[in-house]
């Protein structure tokens, strides 16, 4: 029989594939009592969603588990903000290292924000 964490991680993997949320930097990992799920948009913007296994204790079946996973995913996608990401990440060194001008990088983040919002609407 599969452990709860293995079932949760399999569901996350299926959602990642179904909604194309991995472009090379997406991942799912389990450490201690937390599962970390990183989803990614085409221009490589990422969102990390943390799930404590305790959050799943009162859920009775796989249907409830997947609904809970999707609810947290939806909230994270909805609140992704290109401007906030830009302010958090951008530096002259970052731009030089990645060969981006500030406007290019911001436009990429805006595209990824739109991508995440489209996934949000699909869920």
pLDDT tens readout for residues 30-88 = 999 999 999 999 999 999 999 999 999 999 899 999 999 999 999 999 999 999 999 99
Q: How far apart are CA 118 and CA 9, in angstroms?
A: 23
Least confident of 12-21, 56-65, 108-117: 56-65
Q: Is the pLDDT of residue 1 over 90?
A: no
Q: Who's near 120: CB < 8 A, 6+ residues apart? A: 74, 77, 78
Angle of helix 82-89 versus helix 102-122 axis, rounded to 10? 140
Q: How far apart are CA 123 and CA 39, in angstroms?
A: 14
Question: What is the pTM assigned to this prediction?
Answer: 0.93
């Amino acid at each position: 029989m599969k452990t709860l964490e293995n079932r949760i991680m399999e569901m996350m993997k299926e959602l990642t594939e179904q909604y194309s949320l991995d472009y090379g930097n997406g991942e799912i990992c389990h450490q201690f009592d937390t599962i970390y799920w990183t989803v990614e948009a085409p221009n490589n913007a990422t969102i990390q969603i943390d799930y404590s296994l305790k959050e799943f204790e009162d859920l009775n079946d796989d249907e409830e588990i997947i609904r809970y996973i999707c609810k947290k995913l939806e909230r994270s996608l909805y609140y992704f903000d290109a401007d906030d990401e830009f302010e958090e990440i951008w530096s002259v060194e970052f731009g030089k290292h990645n060969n981006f001008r500030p406007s290019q990088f911001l436009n990429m983040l805006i595209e990824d924000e739109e991508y995440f919002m489209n996934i949000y609407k699909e869920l």
